[in-house]
Structure 1
Amino acid sequence: MQNSNIPHIIEIINEERVKKLELTFKELVKGLEGKVIVEGDNKSFNNICTDTRKIKNNNVFLALKGDNFNGNLYACEAINKGASIAIVDEIHFNKDEIQGTVIKVKNTYISLLKLAKFYREKLGIKVVGITGSTGKTSTKDLVSALLSYKYKVFKTKGNFNNHIGLPLMILSLDESIEVAVLEMGMSNPGEIHALADCARPDIAIITNIGLSHIENLKTKENILKAKMEITDFFTKDNVLIVNYEDEYLEKMKEESFKIIKTGYGGTCRFSAGNIILEEQTTSFILKDSNEKQEFTLPMIGTHNVLNALLGIAAARHLGVNYSEMKKGLKNIEATSMRLEVIKSNDMTIINDCYNASPDSMKAALDVLKNYKGGRKIAILGTMRELGDESSKAHRDTGEYAQDKADFLVTTGEFKEDYKIGFNKEQVKIYETKKDLIGDLCNFTKKDDVILVKASRGIRFEEIVNKLVN
């Protein structure tokens, strides 16, 4: 790898970046494990696109099929709009009416993963893979920043972390990228195995083992097993970095690959102490063997110290020194709606609407408690995918909020559980989110500090927008 003195983090949505894939047509067919069934005159291509509404000239159209859609039906339309190549797993056209090239594969989803794996191996870049129940996105942002002064870094956009998003992100790379930081999500066993096979991370990070997706996986032991699939293709040359403060991760022992432990304890390779919380920053002293370094994160919350330790461990393993890391932190591009502090209408809004789980709820409530201001108001909504643990998890969160919030506001399926757990008079319950939004002006006032948080699909950012506007 060649070092770069120019800080550079690339954050990409595939369709927005017209950058030619570093592949020949022959390599494209080989990577897909496909067969050319219609051969057009133009075999030039740039990006992969899965949506005919976003087709650009010389795109490769990949036809995906779901319960309520079938991209194979739009192969002709994609080529008529400018795509030079269509990849399909079903034929719904007459071959003589196609004015481009068509590659037939057995399954477009599987072929997408195979092509991305082929492409990643051809580029030969370093890959950092990140998984965990919570903190994946914040850790991704921190890892990318810590590496960014020394390397040209790519990080996945938002939550493009599944069997479609991750390979599309890999196919957004080019030869200028030195390190790719890839987030890997899951909801069922075997999913991270497929992503790890595609991305083949050199370094893997597991942030924690929480209740997210316990509805499908039933136990935390099963969640741990599923997260560990990120190491399924490891050899002695690979490294796993874990948060040793997690009760499941602390029990891990080295196998055929190296494990680096981070946390607060003295047994960790990288540990943190003397944490200082400010309104916009979090500072701590890092201990690395006998060396100590002071770090200041442009983020709030003690949980981000643990996330930063994971990133520091990865950066050190890739040869980044502490001076370079601190310079890189100045380039951090945090994902929106992650503990985003907004000052508006004489109030402070902590926008944490990106997602929610019991662990991230508690972390956000800790931030609320420590934030300077007037009344502390927690506006909390449903945490999804908790299965049989749902009612208890919402009650526990309400109880945890007792000494963190002066006032609890809630709506959604488990609003009564929040109220039972909070067990204080200062609580307001609404039947719908619309009712809550309509009443905001009646219970908020000057100098309030307001936390707004729920699972992504609940769209609590609508509450933030009303508070701000």
Structure 2
Amino acid sequence: MEILTLEEIIEAVSGELICLGNNKFFKNVTTDSRKIKKGDIFIALHGERFDGNEFVEEAALKGAALCIVDSIKYNEENISKYTSIIKVEYTNKALKDLAKYYRSKLDIKVIGITGSTGKTSTKDFVAAALSSKLNVFKTEGNFNNEIGLPIMIFKLDNSYDVAVLEMGMSNFGEIHNLADIARPDIAVITNIGISHIENLKTRENILKAKLEITDFFNNDSILIINNDNDMLNAYDNKNINIIRIGTSGDVNFKAFDIKLNENSIKYTIKEINTDKEHSLVIKALGEHNVLNSLLAVACSRVLSIDYEYIQKGINCFKASPMRLDIIRGKKFVVVNDCYNASPDSMIAALNVLSTINGKRKIAVLGTMMELGDKAYYAHYEVGRYASEEGVDLLLTVGEYKEVYKEGYGNPSYFKGFGSKQKLIDYLEKEVTEGDVILIKASRTMRFEDIVNKLEIINS
């Protein structure tokens, strides 16, 4: 992080200095009092179950040079002369305001990535593709919301050429707020599915919410979209520079001659208005990753990176944890895709399961959250698709386990469980050598517990 002055910070957060310490320059922001290092800025966020204002004394004791608060819950005599305190109306807003100001000081390109599914994989592909020519920062973990994204902004400095920032949402206005902070020069929308349809009601509304990523575009800004997605295919806006990628139709970057291998994917790229074709090999599985990586190619070409350097960067691609991790043990193979789940990502994961050689293909599936009145249909369709893809055994837990069974249609090769532990107990007894086991559910179900147990068995 670049240095900020006390005066800059006060103005950026519209705050009042109520305690002056002996520091005038500040570097590094944290919202977690447990992680404070000497010289940090501590922003005392509060929510329904916590209040950071209660930890200001602890923060000062650990060496925070500045605390930003919205209520006084400390004794002044317990604050050292080292620490300044600024009071604001709302600390949650101050976090965003300060990040927005800090972003405006940086001479750095920002690529913002959103979409119903594939955000993290696309982020990882984009960062990899750019990395052989540019110094790249990318969002860590799931820091993609109105608290996480500002924290990522504060990790930037002018040593970076480009920041690849993931932007998540569950309702209207959230992407707008993130775009206001990050001001992306290039925006990427991976697809429009039905994730968060419980809040937004229709896919048309989901599209509108995702398009908030363009709310602060200027004449030079570029929107890159996946034209294979029906909602994005139909979208057009003469006031926005749009680049389209896909496997068919009138697109700027087209992938064809796709070869899905057990450990990699190879395809050929045709770029509009050029005669040359370029092959790309990616160390990832699933046809959906053709589109995710093609979005990365488009970002790279916008930034004038040649294909040889794109391939060189892609060779360093490493997926984020729990996203189609292939874990090969002594007896069987586990496909760990338990970070999150939606209908589209379930289908993509089942496709990957079908490509891995093994004796039995076992799918262990849990609930897909935030689907509202689409939940029954979505779980039924995933069950049906599992049957079509040749899943030999479907194991489920959660409130929609019987719906999966209806869709799967083969009760002899289906088992539903009343708890995750009972499912684990069954796997311990029944998994056999040569099995390939997909583990997938929404984040709240914590299916990594199942993966951890299988890794122990398989070691």
Q: TM-score, normalised by structure 1?
A: 0.94
Q: Report the Cα offset of residue 206 of structure 1.
A: 0.3
Q: Report the Cα offset of residue 379 of structure 1.
A: 0.6
Structure 2 matches for 1:49-448, cutoff 5 A? Answer: 49-99=30-80, 100-289=83-272, 290-404=275-389, 405-424=391-410, 425-448=412-435
Where 1:31 maps in the other structure, the secondary structure is helix
Letter in 2 for 1:427: F
Letter in 1 for 2:368: M
Cα pair 2:340 2:440 within 8 Å, conserved:
yes
Letter in 2 for 1:439: Y
Where 1:255 maps in the other structure, the secondary structure is coil
Unaligned runs of 5+ in 2: none
Q: Report the Cα offset of residue 287 of structure 1.
A: 1.1
In 2, Cα distance between the equivalents of 1:332 and 1:370? 20
In 2, Cα distance between the equivalents of 1:261 and 1:218? 26
Q: Report the Cα offset of residue 429 of structure 1.
A: 1.1
Partner of 1:14: none
Partner of 1:463: 450
Q: TM-score, normalised by structure 2?
A: 0.96
Cα pair 2:327 2:334 within 8 Å, conserved:
yes
In 2, Cα distance between the equivalents of 1:22 and 1:134? 36
In 1, Cα distance between the equivalents of 2:166 and 2:335? 24
In 2, Cα distance between the equivalents of 1:178 and 1:31? 24
In 1, Cα distance between the equivalents of 2:352 and 2:316? 23
Cα pair 1:190 1:229 within 8 Å, conserved:
yes
Letter in 2 for 1:82: G
In 2, Cα distance between the equivalents of 1:325 and 1:79? 46
The answer to whether the aligner puts 1:38 opposite 2:19 as a matched pair is yes
Higher mean C-alpha displacement, 280-289 vs 410-419: 280-289
Unaligned runs of 5+ in 1: 1-19
Cα pair 1:129 1:205 within 8 Å, conserved:
yes
In 1, Cα distance between the equivalents of 2:307 and 2:338? 32
Letter in 2 for 1:410: T
Where 1:439 maps in the other structure, the secondary structure is helix
Q: Report the Cα offset of residue 313 of structure 1.
A: 0.6
Letter in 2 for 1:416: E
Where 1:249 maps in the other structure, the secondary structure is helix
Cα pair 2:4 2:27 within 8 Å, conserved:
no
Letter in 2 for 1:392: Y
In 1, Cα distance between the equivalents of 2:132 and 2:358? 36
In 2, Cα distance between the equivalents of 1:407 and 1:398? 11
Letter in 2 for 1:157: E
Q: Report the Cα offset of residue 279 of structure 1.
A: 1.8
Partner of 1:15: none
Q: Report the Cα offset of residue 443 of structure 1.
A: 2.2
Higher mean C-alpha displacement, 389-398 vs 133-142: 389-398
Partner of 1:12: none
Letter in 2 for 1:37: I
Cα pair 1:22 1:174 within 8 Å, conserved:
no
Cα deviation 1:182-218 (Å, max 9, x = unaligned): 0000001000000000000000000011111011111
Cα pair 1:381 1:412 within 8 Å, conserved:
yes
CA RMSD of aligned residues (A): 1.2
Cα pair 2:3 2:25 within 8 Å, conserved:
no
In 2, Cα distance between the equivalents of 1:44 and 1:96? 23
Partner of 2:9: 28
Higher mean C-alpha displacement, 435-444 vs 142-151: 435-444
In 1, Cα distance between the equivalents of 2:399 and 2:193? 21
Where 2:98 maps in the other structure, the secondary structure is helix
Q: Report the Cα offset of residue 333 of structure 1.
A: 2.8
Cα pair 1:87 1:103 within 8 Å, conserved:
yes
Q: Report the Cα offset of residue 228 of structure 1.
A: 0.4
Cα pair 2:122 2:296 within 8 Å, conserved:
yes
Structure 2 matches for 1:8-19, cutoff 5 A? Answer: none
Cα pair 2:3 2:26 within 8 Å, conserved:
no
Letter in 2 for 1:430: F
In 2, Cα distance between the equivalents of 1:282 and 1:373? 19
Where 1:248 maps in the other structure, the secondary structure is helix
Cα pair 1:395 1:418 within 8 Å, conserved:
yes
Runs (4+) off by over 3 Å = 94-97
In 2, Cα distance between the equivalents of 1:440 and 1:241? 43
